[in-house]
Every structure is written in C-alpha cells, then in structure tokens.
Chains A and B, each alone.
Chain A
C-alpha cells in the first residue's frame, strides 16, 4: 500500500474545488470523532448539574414569559397573532434561541478546542460537526417542548407539525453558515463574540419573535426583508398548522446558505493554521 504523502509549504492549493473536497472528506471521515466530542461535552455538562437540560431553554422561556406577562397585563398592546399569544411567544423565542446557538456554535466549538488545536493534528472539521451534533441534541429537546406547548394551549395536531424538524434544520443551517463566516476573525479577537451576543439582542426586535410584523411603516420593511424572519415564521406556521406565508423566501434563504456554507468551510480550512499560529505564538 503506498503511503499517504503530505506536503506542507507556503504555497497551498488554493483551488476552491480541491479544498472543498478535502474539507467534505474530513467532515465525513471525522464523524466518530465529532460524535465522541459531542457526547463528551453533553455528558460532562449534565453529569455536573442537577437542572441539566433546563438550562438549554430557560432563557427562551423566561423571555417568552416576560412578554406574555407584558401582553396579558396590558402593559404593551400587541396586534392579534392568530394563535394563543403564549404559543406565539414560546415558539418565537425557542426558534430564536436555536438560531442564536447555531451562530455561536462554530466559534464556541473551535475555541473550546484551542488547547488541542495547537498540539495535535486532527480533522478540524470534526469540531464543527460536533457543534452541529450538540445543536441537534439541544434543538430536538426544544422541538419537543414546542410540540408540548402546541398541545397544552389547544392548538392541536396538524400534519405540518411533522415538518417542524426540517424547518429547524434550516434554522441550524442558516445559523451555522453565518457563524462559520465569523469564526476565523472571532477566534483572533474576542470582540466578535461580544458583538454577536450584543447584536442578537437587538436583532430580535426586528424579527417577528414575540410580536407579529406590523401592517405598515419602516418596521414592516425591515422585518419583511430580515432573512431571519422567514425562518421564524415558517417554523412557527408549520407548528401551529398555518400555511407558511414566507415559504418561498425561506427556501431562497436556504438555497443561498448552501453555497455559502461550502465557502465558509473552505475559509475555515484555510484560516485554521493561521489562527493556530497566532494562538500558540
């Protein structure tokens, strides 16, 4: 069997195709490592905590609860959403939390592995994949919770409920793609992580998370064009059995995400050695 030959030099192959192929190959080849890492983190997280999984959705539930209170006490007047407001708010914050987690995931997973990145050569794509695994784990629990709310608040079963996981996958895809682009620079500068946390708080208010898109005005324009809007709305519509109004926009966003994701993977592959150099210098 001929031995695999590796060449390390300044000039690297910069053909998109070759890099992407190598990246996808490593992504596929590192499934075991990725699963192992995800399992390790999930186990460790829950073994050292009593409330465990509760932490995954305590923020969205708290946010929703605040809005439900604001709405029911009459502090704020929200336009009718067509479904019980509790379901509207809970579904919005849950999906929102999935998107935020997905954006943070590539950077967090890579950052957490800093120690081994500078010491051991392993397929770095495994870190991304382990992040996705962890997201899927958390998200599936959130979906179950969402389904629970749908039933508790009397919305009842619709066949479209079965499509919710697919829409959530779309949310994960969107978030991960965005996160992947921010990762290289975010690993160099801590500011990026802070900006994400900070920015997402504001972004939530121009997305129909806890209130519907207004009928007119500047806010309507912003919210309509906001690419996160179709993700939230489509997922929610599927959950409560409405015809998804923003389905075509949703599909367009996802269709754009796929090539961008590939581009992000290539970018990640190129940037890791450069970042490792700066981390270990």
Chain B
C-alpha cells in the first residue's frame, strides 16, 4: 500500500440551496424530472437559490486530517453531505477511495423501545456491518460503552450521555479508509471524550480524516491542514493550521454579550475603549484598560476584580486588586481606574467581566456593587503555531543544567 495515496480528491465542488421551502420542493420536482432525463447543462442559480458550497477543492492522503472550520451556515455540513454521498454536487467532482465511515450522527437507527443490545444490531446494520461482524464485536462494543449493567434496558431510559456512548462504541468498530467527523464529540463526560479522542487518534494513522468542529483546540490538535469556509467559499486553506484558525477568529462576528448586575451603587461612566467593539490584541502585548467609576458616597472602600473568560465561558484569568494588596478609597467623586496586564492568551475570543465590590474593615469583600459582563471583549492573536491549542502560555525560564 502506497503511503502517499490520495484517498479523497475534491475538485471545484459546488452546491446550491434554496431559501424558500415551497420553491425548494418545486425545484425538487424539476430536478427529479431532469435527473431522470439526464440533463447535462451547466447549473445556474434559479430565483431564491444561493451557493451553499462554491468551488471547493482539496486532496487528502492516508494519515492526514483536514480540519474544516467556519461559522454557522458556512457550508461545512453541506460539504460533508456531498463527501458522504448523501447529496449530489451541482458542479465539480469528488473521488473517494476505500470504505467511508461517518461520525455524523451517533446511534442512527436506535429505537427507544428496544434494549441497548438490540439497538447495537440496528445501528451496526446501518453502518454496514454484517450480523457476524456485530456478533464478534458485541462484547467489545458493550465494554467500550461501559454499559454492561444496562445493556438489556430499553434505550429510552438511557441518559443522553449513555446513548452517545453506545452510539460511539458501535461507530468506533468501523475500520474506514476515510472518516468524516461532524461535531459529535462535544457530548459525554470528560473521561469518555478522552476515550473518543484516543480512538480517533488511533484511527488517524491509517485513515484520511475530515473533521468539522467549532472547537479550535480540537482542530489544532488533530488536523494536518485546515480549510476555512465562509459563506460557501474557501476563505483560507493551508497546512499552517494556526494561520487558518487565526483567520477564523478574525472573521468571528462581534458577540457583545453585555450584562450588568449588582447593587447598582457603582457605575461605569467612561472608558478608554469602545465596549461595543471587539478589539484585536497580539499575544504578549500590553492590555491597558482605563475607565471612570461613579460610586455611591456611603461606600468607603472598594476593590476591583477582572475575570477573563474564553468563548466557552471557561474562566481563565483572575485579576483582583485585593490579591495585589490594593484597597481603593472612595474619593466621593468619579474615580479613574487603570488595569494593565500582559496578554498571555493564545488565539481565541475572550471577554473580560469587571466586578466592583465593597471592602469592609477586615479587608473582606462585603457587597458586590457592580458586575459588568462583557466589559471588554477582545480577540487574541498568536503567531506561534506550537501553542495554538492550549489557551494560555507564559514566559518561563527552562534551563538545561
């Protein structure tokens, strides 16, 4: 077997879709007729149609993984459907060699009334296994899903995590040459997710993988090249995965999730940045936030806290004036505050939540005066391709003695 054989070849692929249901159905009837008659003419956009995928080309060899990224509605799923042979392209050509496996929907063909064991056969049959194959793999599947105890229970009483586990366990038995993965791994608990990744890693050596995910760390971890789709067109395509991911973040829509809560005794009056805009900051550069606060006169002392969250609302950084040993005195009028820190974050979208709290005589937090979510939204851009899937890196000294 040639190691560099091309398993997937996509040339100038295009697909159009219709925005309106009734029109879409009518075009369906027309396509049925022309499909039967075998029309060879060039497909052009009819009224109310748009290109869901336009002029996409790539090649994939065994052992390679293409990370397919793009914002919602960019055409990723449509592209996968064409690659999977579910729908026909309107232009271009796909050539796929070998057995194709798709992790697009786990647990297809499950019937809720039937037991887990029976559903293994249903799901396995749809994925193309023979009865003998399933018989042979049954124990391995049950063990992988960690469902020994519940395997004869109707699937409708399974938790959603259990269903996914069973579905993945069956799918993991596939031995595909080409594997298509569409965001199925975002479910289940951490331990099982790790198991899934290990399985995919194992598969990667002998398969060509096309991987769709919104999680950039996952893309960076698995992919050997990346393709960014935007409104059906290829925006960026490179073996420099980090560069494509940066482009993805640059394109991400401004998501201004501002929310203000707290006792209302503190107010932001002025900032040195525009809170409604997302700002791009290079990694390792200085972030300096200046703002003016109005605090009710009865508050004597106060503190400031800033928490940086990533796009999945995971807290990454905590900046706290109490930790730094600062207590601010209410000067009665507007106070000017400055927060500065060096940006340690690798590329991604981040949001800083600002908290202003009252401090009592014992240096303890007393009352939360203001909590401002989405106070400062920024994109962090990193040029370093090595650290792309870890949220943050800091400068340390590592010496060989």
Give residues in A with beta carbon < 8 Å to B: 3-12, 14, 32-33, 36-37, 40-41, 43-44, 47-48, 115-122, 184-185, 188-189, 267, 270-271, 273-278, 280-281
Q: Are B95 and A33 closer than 8 Å at their CB atoms?
A: no
Q: Are B127 and A32 closer than 8 Å at their CB atoms?
A: no
Q: How far is the CA of A270 from the CA of B34 in the complex (A)?
A: 10
Q: How far is the CA of A44 from the CA of B94 in the complex (A)?
A: 39
Chain A residues lying within 8 Å of B114, measured Cβ to Cβ, are: 40, 43-44, 47
Q: Are A116 and B109 closer than 8 Å at their CB atoms?
A: yes
Closest A residue to B34 using CB positions: A274
Q: How far is the CA of A232 from the CA of B333 in the complex (A)?
A: 96
CB distance from B177 to the nearest CB of A (A): 6
Q: Are B38 and A271 closer than 8 Å at their CB atoms?
A: no
Chain B residues lying within 8 Å of A37, measured Cβ to Cβ, are: 109, 122, 125
B354 at the interface (CB under 8 A from A): no
Given contacts A4-B99, A40-B111, A120-B102, A280 and B130 within 8 Å (CB-CB): no
Chain A residues lying within 8 Å of B97, measured Cβ to Cβ, are: 3-6
B250 at the interface (CB under 8 A from A): no
Chain A residues lying within 8 Å of B93, measured Cβ to Cβ, are: 7-9
Chain B residues lying within 8 Å of A33, measured Cβ to Cβ, are: 125-126, 128
Q: How far is the CA of A44 from the CA of B109 in the complex (A)?
A: 12
CB distance from B58 to the nearest CB of A (A): 14
Q: What are 23 A-B interface contacts by the 8 Å CB criterion?
A: A4-B98, A6-B85, A7-B94, A8-B96, A9-B92, A12-B35, A14-B38, A36-B122, A48-B113, A116-B105, A119-B86, A119-B105, A120-B84, A120-B102, A121-B100, A121-B102, A185-B32, A189-B25, A270-B32, A271-B35, A271-B36, A273-B86, A281-B24
Given contacts A5-B97, A48-B113, A281-B17, A10 and B25 within 8 Å (CB-CB): no
B336 at the interface (CB under 8 A from A): no
Q: Are A6 and B95 closer than 8 Å at their CB atoms?
A: yes
B118 at the interface (CB under 8 A from A): yes
Choose among A7, A41, A273, A277 the residue with the greatest number of B CB atoms under 10 Å from its CB. A277
Chain A residues lying within 8 Å of B24, measured Cβ to Cβ, are: 278, 281
Given contacts A8-B94, A9-B93, A184-B32, A118 and B86 within 8 Å (CB-CB): yes
B205 at the interface (CB under 8 A from A): no
Q: Are B89 and A10 closer than 8 Å at their CB atoms?
A: yes
Secondary structure at the B interface, as helix, strand, loop or mixed, is mixed
CB distance from B180 to the nearest CB of A (A): 10
* Nearest 8 A/B pairs, CB to CB: A14-B38, A36-B125, A3-B98, A119-B105, A278-B28, A9-B93, A8-B94, A33-B125
CB distance from A29 to the nearest CB of B (A): 10
Closest B residue to A184 using CB positions: B32
Contact of B86 among A121, A185, A271 (CB under 8 A): A121
B91 at the interface (CB under 8 A from A): yes
> How many residues of chain B have a CB within 8 Å of chain A?
53
Chain B residues lying within 8 Å of A267, measured Cβ to Cβ, are: 36
Q: Are A121 and B85 closer than 8 Å at their CB atoms?
A: yes
B82 at the interface (CB under 8 A from A): yes
Closest B residue to A46 using CB positions: B113
Q: A47-B113, A116-B126, A122-B128 are in contact. List 6 more A-B contacts (CB 8 A).
A: A7-B96, A9-B93, A118-B86, A122-B126, A274-B35, A276-B86
Given contacts A119-B108, A184-B32, A185-B32, A10 and B85 within 8 Å (CB-CB): no
B323 at the interface (CB under 8 A from A): no
Given contacts A3-B177, A274-B28, A274-B35, A280 and B113 within 8 Å (CB-CB): no
Closest B residue to A5 using CB positions: B97
Q: How far is the CA of A11 from the CA of B92 in the complex (A)?
A: 10
Given contacts A40-B114, A274-B28, A32 and B131 within 8 Å (CB-CB): yes
Q: How far is the CA of A280 from the CA of B85 in the complex (A)?
A: 14
Q: Are A188 and B28 closer than 8 Å at their CB atoms?
A: yes
B299 at the interface (CB under 8 A from A): no
B106-120 residues at the A interface, CB under 8 angstroms: 108-109, 111, 113-114, 118
Chain B residues lying within 8 Å of A43, measured Cβ to Cβ, are: 111, 113-114, 118
Chain A residues lying within 8 Å of B31, measured Cβ to Cβ, are: 274, 277
CB distance from B355 to the nearest CB of A (A): 44
Chain A residues lying within 8 Å of B92, measured Cβ to Cβ, are: 9-10
Chain A residues lying within 8 Å of B390, measured Cβ to Cβ, are: none
Q: Are B88 and A120 closer than 8 Å at their CB atoms?
A: no
Chain A residues lying within 8 Å of B43, measured Cβ to Cβ, are: 10
Closest A residue to B97 using CB positions: A3
Chain B residues lying within 8 Å of A188, measured Cβ to Cβ, are: 25, 28-29, 32
Given contacts A14-B38, A270-B35, A6 and B111 within 8 Å (CB-CB): no
Q: Return the CB mask of B1-40 against A: 1 if under 8 Å, else 0.
A: 0000001000000000110000011011101100110101
Chain A residues lying within 8 Å of B130, measured Cβ to Cβ, are: 32
Chain A residues lying within 8 Å of B17, measured Cβ to Cβ, are: 277, 281
Q: Are B35 and A6 closer than 8 Å at their CB atoms?
A: no
Q: How far is the CA of A281 from the CA of B17 in the complex (A)?
A: 7
Q: How far is the CA of A15 from the CA of B99 in the complex (A)?
A: 25
Chain A residues lying within 8 Å of B109, measured Cβ to Cβ, are: 37, 40, 116
CB distance from A225 to the nearest CB of B (A): 28
Q: Return the CB mask of B242-262 against A: 1 if under 8 Å, else 0.
A: 000000000000000000000
Q: Are B113 and A120 closer than 8 Å at their CB atoms?
A: no
Chain B residues lying within 8 Å of A270, measured Cβ to Cβ, are: 32, 35-36
CB distance from B71 to the nearest CB of A (A): 19
Q: Are A121 and B84 closer than 8 Å at their CB atoms?
A: yes
Q: Are B40 and A11 closer than 8 Å at their CB atoms?
A: yes
Chain B residues lying within 8 Å of A7, measured Cβ to Cβ, are: 93-96
Chain A residues lying within 8 Å of B327, measured Cβ to Cβ, are: none
